[in-house]
Homo-oligomer: A and B are copies of this chain.
Amino acid sequence: MDNAGLNDATTTVGELKARALAFARERDWEQFHAPKNLAMALAAEAGELMEHFLWDTPEASREKTAGDATRRARIEEELADVVIYALEFANMTGIDGAAAIERKMALNAAKYPVEKARGRSAKYDEL
Interface SS of chain A: helix, strand, loop or mixed? helix
Known contacts A23-B108, A44-B47, A104-B84; A35/B11 CB under 8 A: no
This chain: how many copies in the complex? 4
**Complex alpha-carbon distance, A49 and B112, angstroms:** 21
A17 CB to closest chain B CB (Å) equals 6
A18 CB to closest chain B CB (Å) equals 9
- Chain A contact residue count (CB 8 A cutoff): 93
With beta carbons under 8 angstroms apart, the residue of B36, B59, B83 that contacts A53 is B36
Known contacts A8-B14, A99-B6; A105/B19 CB under 8 A: yes
With beta carbons under 8 angstroms apart, the residue of B10, B82, B95, B114 that contacts A27 is B114
